[in-house]
Homo-oligomer: A and B are copies of this chain.
Amino acid sequence: MHLTMDTTTQGRKQGRKRGSRRGNAAPTIADVAREARCSPMTVSRVINGEGNVREETREQVLEAVRKLNYSPNRAARSLAGGEQLRIALMFDNPSSSYLSEFLMGALEEATRSDIHLEVQSCENAPSNATLVGKMIEGGITGFILPPPLCDDQGVLDLITGAGGIAIAVGPGKASGSNGAVMIDEYQAAYDMTRHIINLGHERIGFIIGNPEQVASGRRLNGYRAAMEDAGLTVSDRLVAQGQFTYRSGMVAAEKLLAVDPQPTAIFASNDDMAAATVAVAHRCHLDVPSDITVCGFDDTDMANSIWPELTTIRQPIREMTAKAVKMIAKLARTQRHGDKPGPEHVMFPYELIRRSSEAGPSLAKFDRQVDT
């Protein structure tokens, strides 16, 4: 015993060696406590937004935090706090341009909050049910689901049913049981259609997305409504079914361009199909945009890597994903404290990006139209 105590004392005297390696030792919770004239515990409470702290004290602590530019050490926090928050990003068929934005957003927020991110592909899983079950057992707290998984109510229910937290990113429609971050697909499609109409077009073709994704229907409805509001009739022949793939876009575009009189603009439900439409138009010796305007949706990489670059709708995917991570973190914390708040649905702003695939209808077209 005596021996033990002696060495202890020795250790105390040495101490503080590693911290001094860096010139600017990062402030710790103790530094803040000293500055705010209270105990580290109180600081911890303030930082973690717990109750039972006098308003005055809270102010002092926050003041000290600001002054010292303190930020909590994540490693220490998760070490002391028991388990680490783990979030899985589940993919079904990742479009890589979507994915990279998605990952950037998640990554940024996750590293900021010291959350362990896991990337999980569903592609070769026997069934989503067993996969999700195993993951929750394995300690995953939250799931982030991009399209098309975000529309799969079965998966969503599975997760929440098993005690997990699910956030859908970009679903067509918000579900009541889980959180979601999304844009107003209907309104975005409406705006794009309206934009094309404003350019002077009247025969505007539309290529529908994969019918299994809820967003496809909403985009179609937006197009329909804008056309009708402008007093333009929506001929069935001007609406072609696609699947969100390039290939399906080619087929749909061929169908639309065979219609007589030809549409002077085509609005595809995503960029891949819009790119395919451009390719088909070119093969028919139609110039884009002088002969035909082509617009897309999503603003993926495809939109500005082809030529002409596509006018399209941009979603703030990065911000949306970051928000999703934040939401899970918050929910997990409140859940751990016993509360059970309802799901949050956050709507993000979209943006109509004008590029070089759009123009007013050409005179030549008008002439041809008159001829017919």
Chain B residues with CB under 8 Å of A301's CB are 95-97, 301
Bound complex: CA A18 to CA B76 (Å): 15
User: Is A355 an interface residue, CB under 8 A from the partner?
Assistant: no
Contact of A83 among B1, B22, B96, B272 (CB under 8 A): B22
User: Is A333 an interface residue, CB under 8 A from the partner?
Assistant: no
Chain B residues with CB under 8 Å of A354's CB are none
Listed stretches A103-111, A123-131, A161-169, A186-194; interface member = A103-111
User: Is A207 an interface residue, CB under 8 A from the partner?
Assistant: no
Bound complex: CA A169 to CA B114 (Å): 26
Q: B246 to A306, Cβ gap below 8 A?
A: yes
Report copies per complex.
2
Chain B residues with CB under 8 Å of A246's CB are 305-307
Q: A79 to B76, Cβ gap below 8 A?
A: yes
- Give 1 or 0 for each of A61-87: 1 = CB within 8 Å of chain B CB: 000000000000111111100111000
Chain B residues with CB under 8 Å of A119's CB are 104, 107-108
Listed stretches A150-158, A257-265, A276-284, A361-369; interface member = A276-284
Among A5, A108, A111: residue with most chain B CB under 10 A: A111
Which residues A94-146 have CB closer than 8 A to chain B?
A: 94-97, 99-101, 103-104, 107-108, 111, 114, 116-119, 139
Among A97, A246, A276, A301: residue with most chain B CB under 10 A: A301
User: Is A250 an interface residue, CB under 8 A from the partner?
Assistant: yes
Q: Which 9 residue pairs across A and B have the least CB separation, nearest first?
A: A100-B100, A96-B301, A99-B100, A75-B79, A75-B78, A96-B97, A96-B100, A18-B82, A103-B103
What is the total number of residues of chain A having a CB less than 8 Å from a CB of chain B? 51
Q: A305 to B307, Cβ gap below 8 A?
A: no
User: Is A353 an interface residue, CB under 8 A from the partner?
Assistant: no
Which residues A260-274 have CB closer than 8 A to chain B?
A: 272
Contact of A103 among B84, B100, B282, B285 (CB under 8 A): B100
Bound complex: CA A283 to CA B94 (Å): 30
Contact of A79 among B79, B99, B118, B302 (CB under 8 A): B79
User: Is A21 an interface residue, CB under 8 A from the partner?
Assistant: yes
Chain B residues with CB under 8 Å of A73's CB are 79
Chain B residues with CB under 8 Å of A245's CB are 305
Chain B residues with CB under 8 Å of A5's CB are 1, 4-5
Among A96, A246, A275, A285: residue with most chain B CB under 10 A: A96
User: Is A255 an interface residue, CB under 8 A from the partner?
Assistant: no
Bound complex: CA A77 to CA B76 (Å): 10
User: Is A34 an interface residue, CB under 8 A from the partner?
Assistant: no
User: Is A330 an interface residue, CB under 8 A from the partner?
Assistant: no
User: A100 to nearest B CB, angstroms?
Assistant: 4
Chain B residues with CB under 8 Å of A118's CB are 111
Chain B residues with CB under 8 Å of A111's CB are 116-118
User: Is A37 an interface residue, CB under 8 A from the partner?
Assistant: no
Chain B residues with CB under 8 Å of A21's CB are 82-83
User: Is A247 an interface residue, CB under 8 A from the partner?
Assistant: yes
Q: B107 to A96, Cβ gap below 8 A?
A: no
Contact of A94 among B100, B107, B108, B279 (CB under 8 A): B100
29 contacts between A and B (CB under 8 A): A4-B5, A5-B5, A18-B82, A21-B82, A22-B83, A22-B139, A73-B79, A74-B75, A75-B75, A75-B76, A75-B84, A76-B79, A96-B97, A96-B101, A97-B97, A100-B100, A103-B103, A103-B104, A103-B107, A104-B119, A107-B107, A107-B117, A111-B116, A111-B117, A247-B307, A275-B306, A276-B306, A279-B279, A279-B282
